[in-house]
Structure 1
Amino acid sequence: MAILRRAHFFVSLVGIALLCPVMAPRASAQGATVERLAWKRIIKVDNSGQGDYAKIQDAIDAVPSNNVDPVFIRVEPGVYKEKITVPSDKPFITLSGWKANATIITWDDSGDIFKSPTVSVLASDFVGRYLTIQNTYGSGAKAVALRVAGDRAAFYACRILSYQDTLLDESGRHFYSNCYIEGATDFVCGNAASLFKKCHLHSTSENKGAITAQHRMTAEENTGFYFVGGKITGVKSCTLGRPWGPFSRVVFAQTYMSSVVLPQGWDDWGRPSTHRTVYYGEYECYGPGAERRARVEWSRSLTTQEALPFMTSNMIDGSNWLKF
């Protein structure tokens, strides 16, 4: 019996360790980031009624405005049909499910890309983990699943699903790790500076739909989408991207590309003037869709020296804020 009690105690400690990181960010009165040893507050959301709240938005609303302490919102498995906003005055929130395919946030709005998202993250220092975030509206209109407009946002092992404009990666510095992102048209779009590490992009396009629509407007902006070590699959055919902004910047490095990627690789959206200004690069990609012999001449086959700056978190100043 004593052995069983010790085992139970050990399991409890492991569970606490999984919830509480060794170090978590905290803002000082001067706004600088310092370190803290534990979560200030843990909130449980359970739509069966067994948690602190039954709705995710209610848990977010319970975080005080101008929050300066790390808050962990644990979402129990279930389907949460609600539209969620993390407002800009509530930073340092972690929203975590248990498994992405068991913790589902869903809505079905369409139209305006800033109003249709199922989840809108406007706050800085946000972390999302083990969640499915989906917009089930379908084809025919813009229907964003996830909008990310806060700075220093990170997503781990999330599933982000829609048809058009799935992920509005609007602005700020962001990190996506081991995420699954699905859509048909411009399904990773916006003007953030974002590193996508080991992410799976799945195109549901039936005819040449673009994966990315990056919105960099000037050569001076330090923004772009950088995909490293992931894979691209799909149902029929797609291109890697098209220029929402004239200085659009997208790099794929060490990425598996299935045959759904068309030989030309990239699309100019009917704007040949962007051929001189976009930065579309590929480095050590592989698979049947990675063959570059028929690529558009205004895309780039990067050297190791050219590619390396895009392959680490330095492009998003990650060493200063990424904690996992």
Structure 2
Amino acid sequence: MAAASGAILIRVDQSGLGDYTKIQDAIDSVPSNNSELVFIWIKPGTYREKVVVPADKPFITLSGTNAADSTVITWNDGGNAPSQSPTVKILASDFVGRYLTIQNTYGKTGKGVALKVSGDKAAFYGCRILSYQDTLLDDIGRHYYKNCYIEGATDFVFGNAASLYEKCHLHSISKGDGAMTAQKRESPLENTGFVFLGCKLTGSGGAVLGRPWGSYSRVVYAITYMSDVVQPQGWNDWEDPTKQKTAYYGEYKCYGPGSKRDKRVKWSHSLSNEEAAPFLAKTMIGGRGWLRPAPTQFRKNSPIVKMKPNEN
């Protein structure tokens, strides 16, 4: 476990006043099998690069300054396998992303992933994640997203992670046949699924809350505002009726015009207090054991520098 008392500070600044001008160069400077907290502070600007945090470099934070729209990581790639197109790939454990816009501008002609998260124990605060199809590949591991904005049209949150989205905003730009999630849980023995707690769903056209990429797909929306972008049926079976018996799709105390359940598919669930309880805390992701506050002390090599970054 990395020491939590302070973090090594690396500055990225396109003007040349930091340690590096490119984000990837800063990541590359972190030694393999890193065991210390590393805080890579990215000054405002638009960074046109693909970024990878390798599996052997845990405990890295990538952070903008205070608002996600001022620090943008952007690329244009798509049409190939989802694992190849991401603008940003997180393969390492114990990663934190803060106040960043991560986008793929590939557009409407195919799959273009903005962010792929495959490391365990990853957390994102105040980030904007933007694309059209397959925006966020929430691949594997335990993940936490808070106060994030996620935009897309088709399956724009997909994968088989165990993830809690708290106070996040999902915005559909579908023309009418979109799907907000495509969760890939393939066995009842897997403790994976997506939970949206205290979130907001908006957009144009229409979209379902989810469809089953995996037979045992699991998605729960709790205490979430649903605009009329949510289609009345709520969910679909991806043209495979057998998945109606195995997918687990639940709603709990949601509100707004899209939350009405009178026309929902019969195989979705209106959760009781008892049924919803496991999804209303960080239990599924074990978050209390690994989520950490932002560091307030930084050092470059030996001297300690006291700073006060924005709260999560």
Q: Give TM-score, length-normalised by structure 2.
A: 0.92
Contact 1:104 1:131 in 2 (8 A): yes
Matches within 5 A, 1:1-324: 26=2, 35-39=3-7, 41-98=8-65, 99-110=67-78, 111-324=80-293
Q: Secondary structure at the match of 1:298?
A: coil
Contact 1:242 1:266 in 2 (8 A): yes
Residues 283-318 of structure 1: CA deviation (Å, up to 9, x unaligned)? 000000000000000000000110110111111001
The letter of the residue matching 1:106 is: T
| Percent identity (aligned) | 63
Shift of 1:36: 2.9
Residues 105-131 of structure 1: CA deviation (Å, up to 9, x unaligned)? 000000210010000000000000000
Shift of 1:48: 1.5
Q: Secondary structure at the match of 1:43?
A: strand
Q: Give TM-score, length-normalised by structure 1.
A: 0.89
Q: Which has the higher contact order (CA 8 A, sep 6+)?
A: 2
Shift of 1:71: 0.3
Shift of 1:229: 0.1
Q: Secondary structure at the match of 1:241?
A: coil
Shift of 1:134: 0.2
Residues 184-240 of structure 1: CA deviation (Å, up to 9, x unaligned)? 000000000000000000000002210000000001000000000010000110000
Q: Distance in 2 between matches of 1:50 and 1:183?
A: 35
Q: Which runs of 4+ in 1 moved over 4 A?
A: none
Higher CA-based Rg: 1
Q: Distance in 1 between matches of 2:41 and 2:118?
A: 22
Contact 1:208 1:262 in 2 (8 A): no
Q: Secondary structure at the match of 2:116?
A: strand
Q: Secondary structure at the match of 1:186?
A: strand
Q: Distance in 2 between matches of 1:158 and 1:254?
A: 21
Q: Distance in 2 between matches of 1:138 and 1:182?
A: 12
Q: Distance in 1 between matches of 2:98 and 2:135?
A: 18
Q: Secondary structure at the match of 2:274?
A: helix
The letter of the residue matching 1:121 is: I
Q: Distance in 2 between matches of 1:112 and 1:219?
A: 27
2:302 corresponding residue in structure 1 = none
The letter of the residue matching 1:69 is: E
Q: Distance in 1 between matches of 2:44 and 2:175?
A: 33
1:17 corresponding residue in structure 2 = none
Uncovered stretches (5+) of structure 2, i.e. residues with no partner = 294-312
Contact 1:46 1:76 in 2 (8 A): yes
Residues 12-53 of structure 1: CA deviation (Å, up to 9, x unaligned)? xxxxxxxxxxxxx51xxxxxxxx43111x1000011111100
